[in-house]
Every structure is written in structure tokens, then in C-alpha cells.
Structure 1
Amino acid sequence: MSSDDEGFELFDVDASIPTIVPRTTFVPQDKKQDDEQLRFKKKKDDEQQQEEEQIPEDFKAMVQRMPTVNPKRPRQTPTICEVPKDLAEGNKGAYTPKVVCIGPLFDSKDKTASMLRLENYKCYCVNRLIVRARRQPATATVNGTSSEWSAALHSPLLEECSDEMKQIVPQVRASYSYSSISSSKHTNDEQVATKMLLDGCFILYRLLKVARIPKKSLGGGEGNSGNEDADWTRSFSRRGVWGTVTHDLLLLSNQVPFLVLRKLFQHLGSNSGDGDDGVLVNNALQLFSALHPHRLHEEPIASDKVHHLLHLFYLSVDLPQSPSPTRQQQQQQGEAMLRVPELMWWAPSAKELEAAGVHIRASNVATSFLDVRFHRGVLHIPPLQLFDYSETLFRNLIAFEHTYPDTPGRITTYAIFMDCLLKTDDDVRLLRRRQVLVNHMDGKKKYTTREFFSSLCAEARTSANRNNLVDVMEAVVSYKSGRWPRWRAALVTNPWLSTSLAASAVLLALTVLQTFYTAIPYYKPTK
């Protein structure tokens, strides 16, 4: 082999054809890439195996025990949640039912004797609704209602209602926060459906009765029998307990989806001459009409937009839906927030505003108790009446705003605004004189009027972009900072200064008069 062939060797591809190739065997480019990918994959597998070896075995077991998400559960924002702990710490009793448990969240709690009595009453409501829906002329009583249960006649309707509840169990579960309904004893679909049937019929019976009682007082309506109205005292010896039931129906965690009521109404209510499911909204609003705050506008509320009874009450007392703001309005709102970031959660007290020349008046043309306005030095605030149940009602409305993101947060903002106005007892007396606040609360209760709003705001939180009163706060503070309001405030707060100013004004007037009468003889001499 010559020197030119050094570094090469013979490689027999074929025995008869000797080939000269370099000692470094040639490898195709694509084969190199495949080898690199294999080495990279092997390296990653080794690293992953090392990481898995570092994970404790007890952690792996804990992960394996974690519950999997129910594939039937629709993707939607829960509307019924347990009250956040930071809010519940203010007053746990305000979020707990007194006489009736609705929904699965309180069912596992210890029930009182009153609650157990109403649990039995729920079965009575199912019976009455089914008998009423399948009323037959041949079995009707004098008042037009049959009180007898017939298995052949009524059992099929009961099965229809039960099957309907089973079909909507996925939507029902999606309405509750996952952790809340998972912690209750109603874990399987059969139990959830039964609970919805009992609680839904209880509420539906109350709402339909609300519509029949006014008809009876007017002497009309076929279903106004004395037998059906006798249940006012069937479960309790006193009628006043139903007011407590109404309050329990407005607790955040004591709710069933409004879908349950609509489905049951289709089977048990619409065949009895009560109209479409819009009657549920009207009857519920009539049931809550005695509560304060109450509805001040007549904007219709669609039943398919209501999540539960507390949400319906929230919509009724909230400001009416306004058209979506234009791009220019959104820009102006954003600029206003940037101009006064320090004023978003602060407003002067009522006495400070009065001293600065701001007049506070009760608004009689408001569309909601939240409709606070400021115009030409006058702060218009709708009247608000406070009762012993007001704290429970306001706390649950605020808790709903904290747990459901699709709310404007106006009630939380209103409570913060009123807390700013009521810093002292003098502020409270001023708003009472202006008939803005009317206190019907028991004087022996825990809170005074001033402490009422302070307690609501102690745990309440909201974001800056949810402050619908930012324009009012900015206008009030801007007016208060003006020249004349500042002078007026200085005069009111300093009596010596106001006295000296009045004396100076009188002295100036006397000097002018003296000068005038001294100059008259010069221009008009006496004859």
C-alpha cells in the first residue's frame, strides 16, 4: 500500500469489489439526528426517574387519593357557596338558618326541634302540590280542592318530578362550590335529587300560597280554600315563625338553584292556572316586599336569569340595568379613577359636609336605595330603614358579592360609603333629622346605627374598579375643597371668628351709613 493510501483501509462491501473508505466510518445525517434524539430522550427519562425517586411515597399516595372532577359537572361559575371564613368571623349567626335548612350545605349540621318539624312539613308540601296539580272534579271538595292522596292518580306525577330532579343533578352540582357540596352528606345523585325535590316543593308551596292569599282577601280564586291556608299553624303554634322562614330563605348558603323551582313549577304549578314561571319571580318579590330595603323600580327580571332567591332579591334592590357605557364613557371613568386614587374609599363625615355647606337630603325619586347622587352642593341619599334582621340581610348580600364575581359590588361600596358618613353619634342624628336613616332596631341589640355599618365593613373588601360611587366621592370632596365651603367651615368651627366677622360687618355698615348722612348736606344744603 502506497503512502497515499495511509489512513485508509479496505472495506469489502462485496467480496469482488474492494472499496477504500476512511477509518472514520461515514454515517448519514438523518441517522445522526435519530441517535441524538434517542440520547436526549434517554437523558430526560433518567432525570424524570431521579425526580420521581425524590418524591416521598406518602405524597404519591395522597395525590392518588384526591377526588377526580365529575365529568358530568358543567363548566360554570358556582353561585351558591359557603360564606368565607373572614366574613363569617364577624357574626357567624347571621349566616346560619334559624328554623329551616335549604339545600345540602346545612343538612349535615345539628338540627333544632323547629328544623326537624319543618323537615316533616316539607313532605306535606310535596303531597299538597301533587294533589293540587292532579285535582279531579269528581273528587273535589266544596272549596274545589281534594285533600285525599290516590296512589293510582298521584304516584305517576311524583315519579315525573323525581326523574326531573335526577336529570338536572349535574346543573345542580355545578351551582354549588365543589368543596361545599363534596363535604355534605348528599354525595350521590339520588340523595341530591331527593333533597332538591323536598326543598324545592317547600319553597314552591310558599310562593304559590303568597299569590293565593291576596286573591282570597278579594273573594276570588278557586284555590283559596281554608284547608290549604290552615298550614300557617300546622307546623307551629304561632304564625310569626313564617317571618323567620322568609329570612332563612335569604341566607347565602341556604339556597337551591332557581332552576329547581322552575322545573318543579312546570309539573306542579303551570297546570293549576298560575301561568308561566314568571309567577315565581313575582310571588317571590311579593314574599320579600315587607323587607327593607325593598324594590323601588319596575324593571322586569327574567326567571331564567335568576340563580337563587338571594340573587333575585339582590337584583330587585340593585340599580336598574343601564346601557353598556360607550368607549368615551369608559375612558372618562378610567381617567377619574386615575385622578383621585386616594379618594376612592374615603368621604367626609355628615357633620363635616354640613359644615362645608353640603346639604344632605333624602331622595324620594330614587330607583334603588343605592342611588346616591350629588348635584350642586346637595347630596341626595335614598331613605333606609333598619330593623333587627337588617344585619343578617346585608351580611348575606355582601357575602354573595364576595363569592360571585358577576356582581357589580354596589352594596359593599354603599356600606363603606355610609361608614364614612357616620363617624360619630352627631352624624347619625343629622341623618335621622334629614330622614335618611330610620332606626327600628331594638336598643338592646349588639350594634347602634353607627356601629351597624362599621361592623359590615370590618371584613368587607372590594376592588377599585367596582366602586360605583367614585364620581360622587370625587364631586363631594372637590366641592368641599372649594373656597367658599372652606371659609364656611372655618366660620362654623370657630365661633370667635364668626362673631368678629359679624361685628366687623356691622361696623362697616354703620361707617357707610355715617358717611352717607354726612355727605348729604353738602350736595343738598338745607333751605
Structure 2
Amino acid sequence: MQNGGESGGGGNSTQSNHHSVPVAIDPDLISELESQINAPPKLLSQLAGRSSCCIFRVPQSLAEINRKAYQPQIVSIGPYHHGNPKLRMIQEHKGRFLSDLLARPRTPPGSITLCDVLDTVYPLKESIRESYSEALDIDDRKLIEMIVLDGCFIIELFCKVGRLGPAETDDPLFKMAWVLPFLMRDLLRLENQIPYLVLKALFDRCIGNFTCTNTNTTNSSSSIGNNGDEGDQDRPSLAKLALVFFNYMVQRPVQVLGKYYDCEGKHLLDLFRQTYLPPKPELLRHPSKFLQLIQSARKLHLAGVEFKPKKSESFLDIDFKNGILEIPVLTIDDFSSSLFLNFVAYEQCYSDSSKYITTYATFMGCLINTPSDAGLLCDQKVVENYFGTDDEVARFFNNVGKDVVFDIHRSYLSRVFEDVNEYHRNNWHVRWAGFKHTYFDTPWSFISALAA
């Protein structure tokens, strides 16, 4: 009985240990937590997961590698860099460009007023907000003002450069040779975009009945009225104006650009990116379950792989057959390097985007691991280096595919990855390549081999 009593007493003690002890809760703590519960996220808004959201801040993991590549250097477009005092010079010209756009001659005669422009943009204000991954801390009036100035600046810039109208020989922005290249790069930065639907609405309202009086007769590869389709030169599409504008930097054949004059993108960066993508997605072969990245160019070369430049409309068109890796010539310079980084950033951020550029960047990053790899591909005429030293090219490709995510098994180069690795694993190829490098690199080596 006594033991039972002790046991029972122990049980009561155990129960009492599980009872909660009243604690005085700090009301400020409750208030703080409630405010966080009720506060919507700003840096990555709840709308960022929708397909309508297409303009992003570049992730820190990518931006820290080359922050300058993602930030505008001369002009701000959209809200992310709006008000930056370093970009004030071009900002002061946006009003003038808006005035010039409104003053353009039209058929039938009639003016476009500021009210017309505002009426075009105002109904789109919610779509504009939904296009950005960050919640915009700006009222509707300021938002519309910014979008009108930025959108009309872009359209008038395209018109001036495309020679839609009399040439302005005294425009200060075109008298300084460095301005246009910087503008072209800035208009293709992911953080420096406005929705294409806004540009298209402004374009249709302001240029839809514009009378074209093209005066350019000197640059047939980049002019609007001298590119082989004179029948529509009075009604250039927005895509046509944009692609001709950017073609001053890349100099692609007009026949290639012409295929995309009716395209539309999420924004200008996406539009330009689409011109490099295959017209139809490739039917992917099911690769092996274990698929890995390839070796560097130098190692593949020692294993017998040959590198040859390939003529193609797109740099993405890589092929491997019978030990020959054919790669379209890639020109590396300040413009293309910035373009690559922003293409990849867009594909990484926008979930509905294909990953063609990311796959290509990863593939080239595998090939170019060291300055020696870069030098080899330059010697083989696969890479044209206007960027700097072989070391700088290697460093660029090491970084452009760093910390990116893509599914190698579902990538458009999955077959190339698999076939190159299979060729590299073949011991006969390695032995034969070693024999060639030993005995046939020079005529004297060849004679020595015969003598042996």
C-alpha cells in the first residue's frame, strides 16, 4: 500500500510536469508577427509565379559574378533603375523624343496628342504591375508617366535610327559615337525592360498611320526601307524596327531577320532572344539514364575530336558526327557577352521560358575551361575573340554557366552531350589520337613513323 501510494504520488508529479505554465506574452511581439503575416512580399511578389510576370531582378548568385552586365550604363527603362542620377543625361532627352514622336507626319493628316498616349497606357496599368517580379512602390500616376516616357523614347529611337523620316544630323545623341552602342546594350538588359504589350500599344497608336519617308540609302543591312521588302516599308512592324535597330551590333543577314518581323515577345530582350531559337522544338531522343557534362576542348582534342566552324543562322545549331564537333562561329565582344548573361538570367527567372541559351552556355563552359581551351577554339575558327585575352574568354564562359539550373536529359543538346562522351570513352579513339599527335603533327614526325 505504501509503495502503491508512492507510485501514485510519482504519477501525479509526472502529470504536473506536462502542465503549461502561464507566460506573459509581449504584446509588441504579437503585433510584430501579425504585421508580418499581413504584409505581402515585395522583393518577390505573389504575382511572380504567374506567366504574366516576365521582368525580374537578376538573382544575387548571378549578379555577383558580373553585376555591371545587368545594370544600365546610360539609360533607365522601367522602374528598377528609375531615378538613378547616373542615368540622368538620357533621361533629360526623353521628353524631346516624346515630342518628336507626336509631331511625326501621318496619313490621313491628324495629330496624336498626349491625351491619346495616356489613354492608350492607362488601361494597361494592372498588366504593367503584374509584369514585374517586385511589388512596385509607386502610384499609378507616376507609373503611367514613367512608362509613357520610356516607351515613347524607345519607339522614337527606333524610328530615328531606322531613318523613318528626314535624318537629323545635329541630334546630340547621335553625334557622339559611343552613345548608340551603350543604348543598344542597355535596352537588352533584363532589369531594364518594360512589357512588350505596352510598346506594341504605343506603337500602334503613334505609328499605325505614320507616313514613311525613308531617307537612308547607305546601310542596306540595317535600314527599314532598303531590306528587300519595299512593299511594306510604309507600315513597319514594331519587331522589324527593333530588330533592325539591334542589327547594327550583330550584323545578321536581312534574310534571317525578316523571318521574325511578325514576332512578339514578353519584352525586347525576349523578342531578340527568339530570333536565335530553333523554329520548332527538336524531338529529343531519350538519352541514357546517366548523362554527364563533357570534357574540355583540349582534352577532347587529345582524344581525337575535331572542331570545325559551321555555317548556320543560329549559334545554337551544334552538331557532332564521326568525331567532328561542328559549332557555328561565335563572336565574343562586349555586346555579345552582355547579351548572353541577360539571356541566361531571363531563362533562369522565367519559368515558362525554354532553356536553349542556358544549355548552350553550359556546353561552351564545358569546352572552354582554361585559356588553352579558348586558344584552341580560336585557332580552329570556332570562336572570334574581340573580348580580350584567352584568359578573359575562359573566365567569361566559366561564369556564364555558373550556378544555373537546367535538365541536361531534356535539353536540346542531350544527344550531343551523350555522343561526345561516348566518343571520348572509346579507348580506340584515344589511342589513335595519341598516335596521330605523336607521329603526324609535323612532316618529319610522319617520316619517322614510316621509318619505324
User: Please, what TM-score do these two structures have when normalized by structure 2?
Assistant: 0.78
SS of residue in 2 equivalent to 1:268: helix
Q: Does 1:391 align with 2:337?
A: yes
SS of residue in 2 equivalent to 1:102: coil
Q: Which stretches in structure 2 are left out of the alignment for 5+ residues?
A: 1-24, 213-231
Q: Does 1:450 align with 2:424?
A: no
Distance 2:104 2:445 in 1: 81
- Residue of structure 1 equivalent to 2:380: 434
Q: Does 1:160 align with 2:106?
A: no
| Aligned pair partner of 1:362 in 295, 309, 323 | 309
- Residue of structure 1 equivalent to 2:171: 232
- Residue of structure 1 equivalent to 2:239: 281
Instruction: For residue 369 of structure 1, report the CA deviation from its aligned partner.
Output: 0.3
- Residue of structure 2 equivalent to 1:118: 90
| Aligned pair partner of 2:161 in 199, 210, 218 | 210
SS of residue in 2 equivalent to 1:87: helix
- CA deviation map 1:392-442 (0-9, x unaligned): 221111111111122221212212211221233332222122210111124
Instruction: For residue 476 of structure 1, report the CA deviation from its aligned partner.
Output: 1.4
Contact kept? 1:94, 1:392, Cα under 8 Å: yes
Distance 2:90 2:451 in 1: 76
Amino acid at match of 1:198: L
| Aligned pair partner of 1:251 in 183, 189, 192 | 189
Q: Residues 125-274 of structure 1: matches in 2 within 5 Å?
A: 125-133=97-105, 157-179=113-135, 181-182=136-137, 187-212=138-163, 224-226=165-167, 229-230=168-169, 232-233=171-172, 235=173, 238-273=176-211
- Residue of structure 2 equivalent to 1:348: 295
Amino acid at match of 1:85: Q
Amino acid at match of 1:173: R
Distance 2:259 2:182 in 1: 27
Amino acid at match of 1:91: N
Q: For the structure 1 residues 65 and 425, does the alpha-carbon distance in structure 2 shift closer, same or farther, using more than 3 Å as the test? A: closer
| Aligned pair partner of 2:268 in 305, 309, 317 | 309
Amino acid at match of 1:285: L
- Residue of structure 1 equivalent to 2:21: none
Amino acid at match of 2:140: D
- CA deviation map 1:212-257 (0-9, x unaligned): 2xxxxxxxxxx6324xx24632x57613212111110001010011
Q: For the structure 1 residues 65 and 442, does the alpha-carbon distance in structure 2 shift closer, same or farther, using more than 3 Å as the test? A: closer
Contact kept? 1:410, 1:468, Cα under 8 Å: yes
Contact kept? 1:102, 1:254, Cα under 8 Å: yes
Q: For the structure 1 residues 386 and 500, does the alpha-carbon distance in structure 2 shift closer, same or farther, using more than 3 Å as the test? A: closer
Distance 1:72 1:382 in 2: 39
- Residue of structure 2 equivalent to 1:81: 56
Provide the identity percentage.
Answer: 29
Amino acid at match of 2:386: H
Distance 1:169 1:195 in 2: 11
Instruction: For residue 388 of structure 1, report the CA deviation from its aligned partner.
Output: 2.4
SS of residue in 2 equivalent to 1:290: helix
Amino acid at match of 1:92: R
Amino acid at match of 1:477: N
User: Please, what TM-score do these two structures have when normalized by structure 1?
Assistant: 0.68
- Residue of structure 2 equivalent to 1:520: none
Distance 1:410 1:102 in 2: 26
Say how many residue pairs are matched: 404
- CA deviation map 1:159-217 (0-9, x unaligned): 011011111111111111143x34xxxx22222111111000000001122332xxxxx
SS of residue in 1 equivalent to 2:248: coil
- Residue of structure 2 equivalent to 1:461: 405
Contact kept? 2:187, 2:193, Cα under 8 Å: yes
Q: Does 1:417 align with 2:389?
A: no
Instruction: For residue 373 of structure 1, report the CA deviation from its aligned partner.
Output: 0.2
Instruction: For residue 293 of structure 1, report the CA deviation from its aligned partner.
Output: 8.7
- CA deviation map 1:90-112 (0-9, x unaligned): 1111111111100011114x322
Distance 1:503 1:75 in 2: 68
Q: Which structure: larger Rg?
A: 1
Amino acid at match of 2:381: Q
SS of residue in 2 equivalent to 1:317: coil
Contact kept? 1:319, 1:367, Cα under 8 Å: no
- Residue of structure 2 equivalent to 1:321: 280
| Aligned pair partner of 2:424 in 463, 480, 483 | 480
SS of residue in 2 equivalent to 1:320: coil
Amino acid at match of 2:118: S
Q: For the structure 1 residues 65 and 384, does the alpha-carbon distance in structure 2 shift closer, same or farther, using more than 3 Å as the test? A: closer
Q: For the structure 1 residues 255 and 118, does the alpha-carbon distance in structure 2 shift closer, same or farther, using more than 3 Å as the test? A: same
Distance 1:353 1:67 in 2: 48
Instruction: For residue 494 of structure 1, report the CA deviation from its aligned partner.
Output: 6.3
Distance 1:352 1:116 in 2: 50
Contact kept? 1:350, 1:422, Cα under 8 Å: yes
- CA deviation map 1:41-81 (0-9, x unaligned): xxxxxxxxxxx999934312332444799999996441101
Distance 1:130 1:356 in 2: 63
Q: Which stretches in structure 1 are left out of the alignment for 5+ residues?
A: 1-51, 138-152, 213-222, 508-527
Instruction: For residue 300 of structure 1, report the CA deviation from its aligned partner.
Output: 3.2
- CA deviation map 1:289-318 (0-9, x unaligned): 133495784573375741111001111122
Distance 1:74 1:133 in 2: 43
Distance 2:182 2:306 in 1: 39
SS of residue in 2 equivalent to 1:379: strand
Q: For the structure 1 residues 447 and 194, does the alpha-carbon distance in structure 2 shift closer, same or farther, using more than 3 Å as the test? A: farther
